[in-house]
Structure 1
Amino acid sequence: MATGPSDAEKDAYAMEIARLRAHRVAGEAGRVRELFDYLAERGGEGIPATQPEIAEAVFGQSATDADDATVRVYVHRLRKRLEDFYASDESGSRRLEIPSGTYALRFAQEFAVSEPIEPDIVVPVAAPVFPRRLVIAGAAIMLVVLVGVFFIGRWQGIKSHAPVNALWQPFVESRRPTLIVLGDYYIYGEIDPVRPDEGRLIRDFRVNSANDLVVMQELHPDRFGQSEDVGLNYLPFSSAYGLRAVIPVLAREGRQISVIPASELQPDMLNYFDVIYVGLFSGLKLLEDETFTGSHFELGETYDELIDRRDGKVYTSQEARRLASSAYYHDYGYVARYRTPSGALVAILAGSRDTGLRGIAPTVAVPDLPAQVADLAGGGDFEALYQITGQQGADLSDRLVYAGKRP
């Protein structure tokens, strides 16, 4: 004779549902959250829902086809949210899942802790647009998903014999582990529940996180009513070139090098790691104020502009206006090294746009830096600015336009 779930099982289910809500695994609002709440209310041992039931209860589609794609799309998103949460959860709690082929929340049948698999880093190939305050809505970027880097990637025990110049020598000698931070960008989806196949991905410079999206949904329900957090960020194309230049120099036998996106960098990490940023000015996030508060430069009205505080000279990237033509143009690459009050050694390897980053990365990774830069790097905090000549995205040459100690 079958028996229902015990009181202890019901309590465990209710507590785990409450914990998932507290961690906002399904978000604070939106269709994914409504789907989660609907399945949660049915209980851990209740009869699984059907597609028509979900379509009517969550999406208000009473005449929905039994094989409607909308339900499958959102169930998949909720399932992935749960999997991503538990992948980094160290609480030891039992895990809830949506079993394949079942529309219900269930405790996983097997609960065991195994050694994590170190993922590869997948660097997307695409270049974003980076005005500092300009809102870009409707920019559909389909092949720029940041996949592996949201799990910390590690290089450890790699035998590298690449020469180390004065810029990187302090990192190699440091007792702290090295954390490489890649500038990344949040994108959200705009999805019509009736026609999900016609959805698009959007980069809006007012919306830099899932929480920002919730705020915009509350402030502008007409504009953001069909917007959804789809758990995606992207990297600029040039990040791959930056990593390719830096990793061989830093990787030494026995040293640990971790890689995370800038959106995951927390202030307390500077208490434990030395940090190297690789990306564009627009992706600095937490490191932006730290970097430019102690600099001779400041950002202009857009991330294409870098202003020398001493004389007001403006260095403006020309890439956006000339990338599509065969004309030569100038972009800018910036390198700095400084130590934070917490003792962290920080290096910034950044470009105004992709050409700048592609040009600066190999330039500062070579064994022999320009004499002026090498002398500064052999001392304390410093910064340098390079002008990179480009054509249709290719970096053709570089010229040092400034090098000096940080204020």
Structure 2
Amino acid sequence: MSDTGAPNLQTLKQRIIDSGALGRSPVYVKLLDYLTDCAADSRQPKEFEIAVDVLGRDSNFDVSRDSVVRVYIHQLRKRLEAYYVRHEPNADYRIVIPKGQYIITLEACRPDTPAASREDSPERRRPARLTLALLALIAVLGAANAWQWSASSGPEPVDSLQATLSHPMWQQLTDDELPILLVMGDYYIFGELDEEGRISRMVRDFFINSSEDLTSLFMQDSSLQDYFRDLDMTYMPEGSADAMLQVAPILRATGKPVRVTMMSRLQTADLRNNHIIYIGYISALDKLNNLYFQTSGLLPGRTFDEIFDKQGQTLYTSTAGLPQQGQPFRDLALLATWPGANQNQFVLVTGTRDAGLMHAADVVSDIHKLSALDSKADFDTEQSGVSHEALFEVYGIDRMNFEANLLYHQPLDPALIWANSQ
């Protein structure tokens, strides 16, 4: 910071805080204030000092076992990058946190230097490795989709990712220490036995969505054990893999731990201890079905290919399951988000069939589409931007989505969701 023409560090810091780019959590403002004061004193704080002075940890804090400081520093670094991408792309100077350090510095930007660091630009970054959680999903999707995953796991443009993460919906998932749980909508299948006790065919029943459900059925009628058998098998639609490819770069960019589970293996406790992102068909919502639809303005139809608008008394129907190859169809995409009872956030990325599901993933992973959705709202998005639902009609061919129209967009009342779930 020896450049005599450089602006005051405190001035730049306050400009960032005033922009709201640090999110709703006061921790990031406090952390930036702390690092700025340390920089003014030419002092580099230790990880333990940050934990105690900023994050309120006690003297028993163990830096070798708790990564909370590293997580917050990483998130603050990403927010600073997002600020310059979104608010000051042509800034002459910017505040940065060097990788692997707990200090802030004032960096002069050359005219040809983009707001996102050259070190992090797509041309200079190595292809990002999939996290262990995502590798677990590859095993589920099978070899055909594994190739698609590995071929598509290269780096995304830094400015695009950070701009998307700056949207209020995504900020709800990054402003705290809660981990992210990605729930993939799967379908539990069990075996039907022939007269000799051999598996004659596999059965899918909308009301039996896990081994526990089948066991409960056997407890109600033990004679059914002579006809059906638990195979411990599930399957997922192909569109789930495509939707995951859209969302995965966003999840990696959060810098948070991400765990993947199937809906058939989701535990009730998981809904309290994690931010929940669901990707899958509406018909596979299972444990989230009643939680969401009991206070939604929408209702699923009997076959889950229909969505009913309760206020408008309108029935929307997907024809994606009917047309032959090459024939156009209409599908339905649904995006919903609301805060949980334990300061966590729920995000549903779903649809009636593949095309609808993939369009919902397109919207949630693109800042321009998220902003366009906000602009069309006839309610206060500042108040309801992190608690709302949107339904789209999607036009497609052969499971691919081509264009979509917004059919319905209304706020959700999270208080009603949790009141009705008691």
TM score, norm. by length of structure 2: 0.55
* Paired residue secondary structure (1:251): helix
Identical residues among aligned pairs (%)? 26
Q: Which amino acid aligns with 1:174?
A: D
Say whether residues 1:120 and 2:122 are aligned partners.
Answer: no
Deviation at 1:182, TM superposition (A): 0.9
Q: 1-side partners of 2:265 and 2:278: how far apart? A: 13
Deviation at 1:164, TM superposition (A): 3.9
Report the counterpart of residue 207 of structure 1 in structure 2: 208
Cα distance, 1:271–1:124 mapped onto 2, change above 3 Å:
closer
Q: Deviations over 1:39-68 (max 9, x none)?
A: xxxxxxxxxxxxxxxxxxxxxxxxxxxxxx
Q: 1-side partners of 2:185 and 2:201: how far apart? A: 23
Higher relative contact order (CA 8 A, sep 6+): 1
* Paired residue secondary structure (2:321): helix
Q: Deviations over 1:295-327 (max 9, x none)?
A: 2111222211111110210111111221x2432
Is the CA contact (8 Å cut-off) linking 1:176 and 1:274 kept in structure 2?
Answer: yes
Is the CA contact (8 Å cut-off) linking 2:331 and 2:396 kept in structure 1?
Answer: yes
Report the counterpart of residue 350 of structure 2 in structure 1: 350
Report the counterpart of residue 68 of structure 2 in structure 1: none
Is the CA contact (8 Å cut-off) linking 1:125 and 1:236 kept in structure 2?
Answer: no
| Aligned equivalent of 1:406, options 402, 406, 412 | 412
Say whether residues 1:171 and 2:157 are aligned partners.
Answer: no
Is the CA contact (8 Å cut-off) linking 1:334 and 1:360 kept in structure 2?
Answer: yes
Deviation at 1:215, TM superposition (A): 5.1
Is the CA contact (8 Å cut-off) linking 1:182 and 1:278 kept in structure 2?
Answer: yes
Is the CA contact (8 Å cut-off) linking 2:278 and 2:350 kept in structure 1?
Answer: yes
* Paired residue secondary structure (1:359): helix
1:256-271 pair list within 5 angstroms: 256-271=257-272
Report the counterpart of residue 251 of structure 1 in structure 2: 252
Cα distance, 1:199–1:393 mapped onto 2, change above 3 Å:
same
Is the CA contact (8 Å cut-off) linking 1:180 and 1:257 kept in structure 2?
Answer: yes
Is the CA contact (8 Å cut-off) linking 1:171 and 1:250 kept in structure 2?
Answer: no
Q: 2-side partners of 1:193 and 1:268: how far apart? A: 41
Is the CA contact (8 Å cut-off) linking 2:272 and 2:341 kept in structure 1?
Answer: no
| Aligned equivalent of 1:395, options 385, 389, 401 | 401
Moved more, 210-219 or 388-397: 210-219
Report the counterpart of residue 184 of structure 2 in structure 1: 182
Q: 2-side partners of 1:177 and 1:218: how far apart? A: 36
Deviation at 1:344, TM superposition (A): 1.8
Deviation at 1:406, TM superposition (A): 1.9
* Paired residue secondary structure (2:188): strand
Is the CA contact (8 Å cut-off) linking 1:163 and 1:367 kept in structure 2?
Answer: no
Deviation at 1:193, TM superposition (A): 8.5
Q: Which runs of structure 1 show a deviation greater than 6 angstroms over 4 or more consecutive aligned residues?
A: 218-223
Q: 1-side partners of 2:219 and 2:386: how far apart? A: 48
* Paired residue secondary structure (1:302): coil
Deviation at 1:251, TM superposition (A): 1.4
Deviation at 1:260, TM superposition (A): 0.8
Say whether residues 1:383 and 2:389 are aligned partners.
Answer: yes
Deviation at 1:194, TM superposition (A): 5.2
Report the counterpart of residue 367 of structure 1 in structure 2: 367
Deviation at 1:191, TM superposition (A): 4.2
1:28-47 pair list within 5 angstroms: none
1:65-214 pair list within 5 angstroms: 120-122=136-138, 161=158, 162-165=161-164, 166=167, 167-192=169-194, 196=198, 199-214=200-215
Cα distance, 1:253–1:334 mapped onto 2, change above 3 Å:
closer
1:231-242 pair list within 5 angstroms: 231-242=232-243
Is the CA contact (8 Å cut-off) linking 1:334 and 1:385 kept in structure 2?
Answer: yes
| Unaligned runs of at least 5 residues, structure 1 | 1-116, 127-142, 145-157
Is the CA contact (8 Å cut-off) linking 2:329 and 2:396 kept in structure 1?
Answer: yes
Cα distance, 1:214–1:250 mapped onto 2, change above 3 Å:
closer
Is the CA contact (8 Å cut-off) linking 1:189 and 1:228 kept in structure 2?
Answer: yes
Q: Deviations over 1:374-401 (max 9, x none)?
A: 3566534111111110112221222222
Report the counterpart of residue 340 of structure 1 in structure 2: 340
Q: 2-side partners of 1:380 and 1:214: how far apart? A: 38
Is the CA contact (8 Å cut-off) linking 1:160 and 1:249 kept in structure 2?
Answer: no
Q: Which amino acid aligns with 2:188?
A: Y
Count, aligned residues: 262
Deviation at 1:338, TM superposition (A): 0.4
Is the CA contact (8 Å cut-off) linking 2:388 and 2:409 kept in structure 1?
Answer: yes
Q: 1-side partners of 2:404 and 2:294: how far apart? A: 26
Q: 1-side partners of 2:179 and 2:318: how far apart? A: 34
Say whether residues 1:276 and 2:274 are aligned partners.
Answer: no
Moved more, 307-316 or 369-378: 369-378
Is the CA contact (8 Å cut-off) linking 2:186 and 2:235 kept in structure 1?
Answer: yes
Deviation at 1:247, TM superposition (A): 1.4
Moved more, 390-399 or 305-314: 390-399
Cα distance, 1:307–1:120 mapped onto 2, change above 3 Å:
same
Deviation at 1:246, TM superposition (A): 0.9
Is the CA contact (8 Å cut-off) linking 2:300 and 2:306 kept in structure 1?
Answer: yes
* Paired residue secondary structure (2:208): coil
Is the CA contact (8 Å cut-off) linking 1:164 and 1:249 kept in structure 2?
Answer: no
Q: Which amino acid aligns with 1:121?
A: L
Deviation at 1:371, TM superposition (A): 4.1
1:206-225 pair list within 5 angstroms: 206-214=207-215, 216-217=217-218, 225=226
Moved more, 167-176 or 255-264: 167-176
Is the CA contact (8 Å cut-off) linking 1:181 and 1:277 kept in structure 2?
Answer: yes
Cα distance, 1:211–1:159 mapped onto 2, change above 3 Å:
same
Cα distance, 1:218–1:382 mapped onto 2, change above 3 Å:
closer
Cα distance, 1:211–1:369 mapped onto 2, change above 3 Å:
closer
| Unaligned runs of at least 5 residues, structure 2 | 1-131, 145-154, 414-422
